Structure 1
Amino acid sequence: MNRPRIVIIGAGFAGFHAARRLHRLARARADVIIVNTTDYFLYVPLLPEVATGILEPRRVTVSIADTLPGVQLVLGEVDGLDLDSRRVRYADPTGARGELGYDRLIIAAGSVNKLLPIPGVAEHAHGFRGIPEAVFLRDHLTQQLELADATDDQDERDALCTFVVVGAGYTGTEVAAHGVLYTELLRKRHPRLRDQHLRWMLLDIADRVLPELDERLSRTADKVLRDRGVEVRMGLSVEEATEAGVRLTDHTNVPTRSLIWCVGVRPDPVVEALGLKTEKGRLVVDEYLRVPGRPEVFACGDAAAVPDLTRPGEITPMTAQHAERQGRRAASNVAASFGTGELKPYVHKDLGFVVDLGGTQAAADPLHIPLAGLPAKVVTRGYHLLSMPGNRLRTATDWLFDAVLRRQTTQLNVIPAADVPLETSNPEQVRKHTKS
């Protein structure tokens, strides 16, 4: 008899942990297949350390083949779902097309950059979602200081040494906090830039940094950024971007060659193209992570609008903490649908958050106890090591080397700017290949 086939779309926090649990629960009773564009799980929270030379890129990637033996990996980008015939359509890295049938489907497609209708942003800004963007940013920051060192035009030098980060959530705050330390390190290695001012700006339309967190953590992060010279400008954003710089919503012009877009994310367009009910762009599911009317289809992570049973009437936020736990619950409920275990709702209370601010600084509230400075840093790095499904020793070793050795700052020039556009998905292209 043919064994049941469980297909998981995506290997982010939700998809990877769903596959990991299903591999344990299903064992030889079902085939588990992951469709993903890369052969690794990416530990996104440490990307700012890749972008500033603390960690090597492979440290934040965990091989699917090594950690999920027995789970089949299909390299490809899903661009079509036929829910009636239970087929998943995808294109592999060579452009060849393929299809997979399934008995159960877990949609954990994740998210892509959120674009706003602001002139010039798509052309001149760069996002921060994966390894290519992190490696590009590291090279870009290095290059800007090297170009500034080479010019005698003070206006051009000022523009090259100005960095604008839009979005003061987790990603933007950490990028600005790590970035200002990295460029200061670079400046010290260029004697001609000894008296050059390095200008970092962090913008957000919110009224405070890290608006989704407790105000005490927000104040900690804000103070660290301002003490390092970052211009924290709340209630402000970009009105237009050009090759020469940006115009802010207060009509101020800022000459810059560096616009880093960390405004937020939106669900993968494959979700919207299904034609099913969505909430805030996320696929509506019940408390068991099932898609209404499609008992064989589950969704979790950023792709799903999961009811938050601890806050009736609301949905869970798009965080790695929720995605990981939802992936595990979706896997257990898929197994329960085959008679292994019991169907249970997703219930989770946040145990706290950690924000790495570079150097010896961090903000954390483990078990909702607010911490700052070195104690928060210890908690933050300990949390990341425990959360990573691999590469823990290598990551810890890189941290040790960074503490005692001179950081390497050479450009690799392996990621051209054209290869990391801000817009990473084309909803119209997906819609053409999808039917509900």
Structure 2
Amino acid sequence: MSRPRIVIVGAGFAGYRTARTLARLTRHKADITLLNPTDYFLYLPLLPQVAAGVLEPRRVTVSLPGTLPHVRLVLGEADGVDLDARTVYYTDPESEPGTLTYDRLVLAVGGVNKLLPVPGVAEYAHGFRGLPEALYLRDHVTRQVELAAASDDPKTCAARCTFVVVGAGYTGTEVAAQGQLFTDALVRRQPLREGMRPRWLLLDVAPRVLPERLSRAADRVLRRRGVDVRTATSVEEATPSGVRLSDGEFVGTRTLAWCVGVRPDPLVEVLGKPLERGRLLVDPYLQVPGRPDVFACGDAAAVPDLERPGQYTPMTAQHAWRHGRVAGRNVAATLGIGSRRAYRHRDLGFTVDLGGAQAAANPLGIPLSGPLAGAVTRGYHLAAMPDNRVRVAADWLLDAVLPRQAVQLGLVRSWSVPLDTASPELARVAGSPGDFTSRPEGES
């Protein structure tokens, strides 16, 4: 008898954990295939430190072949799923089409940048969802400071040294906090015109940065460091020379980082199954109703929150990581290995790294700030990372005792990291072989 075929689409927090759990539980009793555009799992929480030159890029990547030895990796982006034929359609990195058939399917496709209908944003802003975007931002910020230092025009110098971050959630707050330290280090080596220093603006329509339990400590650190925090403020228009804010002010800048959050990958929209705000509805066992062979987890799945009846688990890495473990166990249970369980998880707290020794955290509901929160935050990341712990710790140590290396590598060009990561593309409609509809291209 042939072994059951399990296909996992996506190697983010949910997909990677699913693959690792299944490989451990099935012990060669199933063929596990992981479809992903890259050969690594990206540890997203540390991406702002890559953009700020604290960590080298490979530190936040975990090799899929190296850490999932019993899982077959297929490089490609999913274009669609035919649920009736149990087939996943994909395109490989060289634009060749391919198909994968399955007995069990796990959709862990994650999310894509959330765009708002703001004129000019798609053309002049950049998101912050992947390694290329972090590398581009690091080069771009370095270049702007270097050009500003060489400029004779005060207005041009000020615009080049003004950096606008939209979205004061975890990612945007860390980008602004780390970015201010990074540019301050740059100008110590390459001073600007007298009286000028880099200026970072952090904007959000919300009344505060971050959730309330972390907001006060983070806001205090940001403002003390010189970050211009503007709450209840949004961007109304982006242009090549700056942005117009909702209060009417025009801010000259060459840098607009878009960190307003993500939306579920549009792949799930073509499945023809019920959605909850773009997320695929699943039961507490992470199964798609009416399809006992299909599971979904992570940002693309609306998982009932059993701790808060009537609500769904939020789109966070913490939930996605734990979704993956439960999805792996429940897929194995359908093969007669172990027993299934419903997803239930209480938040253990959140952390936000503000650069240097500063952070804000509330482990187990205990509010912390300053160096103690910094130690807790970095300890949490080291414990949570599947690999590269020694290398990450070594980079942190070197950053504490040595000046950062600030050079432009020129590896990523602006046109290769568009904000709109969901451009139209043909996708096969689920359950309708040969029929096509357009769908945005997302992360698989």
- In the other structure, the counterpart of 2:422 is 425
**Residue aligning to 2:441:** none
Give the superposition deviation at 1:364.
0.6
Q: TM (normalized to structure 2)?
A: 0.96
Matches within 5 A, 1:132-143: 132-143=132-143
Query: Cα deviations across residues 33-84 of structure 1 (Å, max 9, x unaligned)?
Result: 1000000000000000000101000000000111000100000000111011
Mapped partners of 2:151, 2:253: distance in 1? 15
Cα deviation per residue 1:106-144 (whole Å; 9 max; x = unaligned)? Answer: 000000100011110000000001110000000011000
**Aligned residue for 1:278?**
275
Deviation for aligned residue 1:194 = 5.0
Counting only pairs closer than 5 Å after superposition, residues 18-57 of structure 1 correspond to structure 2 as 18-57=18-57
Alignment pair present for 1:384 and 2:381: yes
Deviation at 1:217, TM superposition (A): 1.4
Where 1:81 maps in the other structure, the secondary structure is strand
1:73 aligns with 2:73: yes
Deviation at 1:2, TM superposition (A): 1.2
Separation of aligned partners in 2, 1:187 and 1:258: 17
TM-score, length-normalised on structure 1?
Answer: 0.98
- Secondary structure, counterpart of 1:158 in structure 2: helix
1:73-111, CA deviations, whole angstroms, 9 ceiling, x for partnerless residues? 000000111011000000000000100000000000000
Moved more, 189-198 or 381-390: 189-198
Q: For residues 280-316 of structure 1, give each alpha carbon's deviation from its aligned partner in whole angstroms, at most 9, with x where no partner exists.
A: 1100000000001111000000010000000000000
Which residue in the other structure is 1:154 paired with?
154
2:88·2:99 contact (CA, 8 Å) conserved in 1?
yes
* Distance in structure 2 (CA, Å) of the matches to 1:277 and 1:220: 40
Task: Name the CA distance, whole Å, in 2 between partners of 1:194 and 1:28.
Answer: 66
- Amino acid aligned to 1:66: G
Please give the secondary structure, in 2, of the residue aligned with 1:273: helix
2:7 aligned partner: 7
Q: Is the CA contact (8 Å cut-off) linking 1:187 and 1:194 kept in structure 2?
A: no
Q: Does 1:434 align with 2:432?
A: no
Q: Equivalents in 2 of 1:100, 1:192: separation in Å?
A: 56
Residue pair 2:304, 2:310 contacting (<8 A) in 1 also: yes
- 1:242 matched to 2:242: no
Give the match for residue 17 of structure 1: 17
Match of 2:120?
120
Are positions 1:221 and 2:218 aligned together? yes
Tell me what 1:173 maps to.
173
Paired residues of 1:188 and 1:194 also in contact (CA < 8 A): no
- Measured against aligned partners, the alpha-carbon deviations of 1:331-370 in whole angstroms (never above 9, x if no partner) come to 1000011111111100000011110000110001111111
Contact conserved, 2:82 with 2:428, CA < 8 A, in 1? no
- Distance (whole Å) between structure 2 residues aligned to residue 101 and residue 295 of structure 1: 16
Aligned-partner residue type, residue 63 of structure 2 = S
Identical columns (%): 64
What is the CA distance between 1:252 and its match in structure 2?
1.1
Tell me, what secondary structure is at the counterpart of 1:28?
A: coil
Q: In 1, Cα distance between the equivalents of 2:289 and 2:89?
A: 22
1:398 paired residue among 384, 387, 395: 395
Instruction: Give the match for residue 182 of structure 1.
Output: 182
Structure 2 residue aligned with 1:109: 109
Counterpart AA for 1:190: Q
In 2, the alpha carbon distance for the partners of 1:200 and 1:42 equals: 26
| CA pair 92-189 structure 1, distance change in 2 beyond 3 A | same
Aligned-pair CA distance for 1:191: 3.0
Structure 1 contact 291–297 (Cα < 8 Å) conserved = yes
Unaligned runs of 5+ in 2: 432-444
Q: Distance in 1 between matches of 2:430 and 2:256?
A: 37
**Is the contact between residue 187 and residue 193 of structure 1 (CA under 8 Å) also seen in structure 2?**
no
**Is the partner of 1:85 in helix, strand or coil?**
coil
Mapped to 2, the partners of 1:173 and 1:17 lie a distance apart of: 27
User: Which letter maps to 1:435?
Assistant: A
Task: Tell me how far apart the structure 1 counterparts of residues 77 and 120 of structure 2 sit (CA, whole Å).
Answer: 28
**Letter of the structure 2 residue corresponding to residue 177 of structure 1:** A
Q: Return the letter of the residue paired with 2:274.
A: K
Match of 2:442 in 1: none
Q: Is the 8 A contact 2:108 2:299 kept in 1?
A: yes
- 1:330 aligned to which of 327, 332, 353: 327
Distance 1:191 1:234, change over 3 A: closer
Contact 2:106 2:295 in 1 (8 A): yes
Aligned counterparts of 2:115 and 2:217: Cα–Cα separation in 1: 29
CA RMSD of aligned residues (A): 0.9
Could you tell me which runs of 5 or more consecutive residues in structure 1 were left unpaired when the two chains were aligned. none
Match of 1:287 in 2: 284
In structure 2, give the amino acid aligned to 1:335: A
Is the CA contact 2:351–2:359 (under 8 Å) kept in the aligned structure 1?
A: yes
Aligned to 1:350: 347
- CA distance, structure 1, for counterparts of residue 15 and residue 335 of structure 2: 19
Amino acid at match of 2:397: L
Letter in 2 for 1:302: D
Given that 1:79 and 1:434 are in contact with CA atoms closer than 8 Å, whether structure 2 keeps it comes out as: no
1:434 CA drift (Å): 2.6
Distance in 2 (alpha carbons) for counterparts of 1:393 and 1:337: 38
Tell me which moved more, 409-418 or 265-274.
Answer: 265-274
